[in-house]
Amino acid sequence: MPLRDLLLALLVCLAWAGNFLTSALALREMPPLLFTGLRLALLAMLLGAFLRRPGPGQWPRLIAIALCTGVLHFGLSFWALKLAGDLSSPAIVMQSYIPMTVLLAWVLLGNVSPGAPAPRSR
């Protein structure tokens, strides 16, 4: 793997670590749902200029997705981070969704990785 790719991967890891550290520091000063709202409002203001407005029929779907992935996900994540007290346990648990998604897709949907032999029918 080229050195450039390794450095970019390290940069991503440092950004995620910085995300948890700044979130933990901010949660010492404000409630989790207020922090979530402020964070998402700042993100909407920064990215709003780069996004197209969705079509008229897409608004209900967009709002539902924003509530689930934004407010619900981050609100509960920051609430857990505040309740945990330390930073290590919630950080590990929050990142466990990656292998859990793969395992659930394999078990529930029968999905396999590309190039793997297809599962046998029962």
- Residue 104 domain-assigned? no
Give me the mean pLDDT over the 95-102 stretch. 83
Domain containing 75 equals 3-48+57-85
Domain count, the chain: 1
Residue in the structure block whose two tokens are 């407010």? 71
pTM (two decimals): 0.66
Give me the mean pLDDT over the 111-117 stretch. 64
Q: Please report, for residues 21, 61, 106, 108, 114, the alpha-carbon distance to residue 119 in angstroms, rounded to integers and kept in the order given.
A: 42, 34, 10, 13, 12
112 Cβ contact partners less than 8 Å away, ≥ 6 residues apart: 106, 118, 119
Give me the mean pLDDT over the 101-114 stretch. 79
For residues 74, 77, 80, 86, the Cα torsion angle rounded to the nearest 10 degrees is -110
Phi-psi region of 54 (alpha: psi -120 to 50; beta: other; left: phi over 0): beta
- Residue 35 domain-assigned? yes
Supply the mean pLDDT for the chain: 84
Each residue's pLDDT tens digit, 37-80 = 898 889 889 988 898 888 889 989 988 988 888 888 888 888 88
- Residue 72 domain-assigned? yes
- Residue 17 domain-assigned? yes
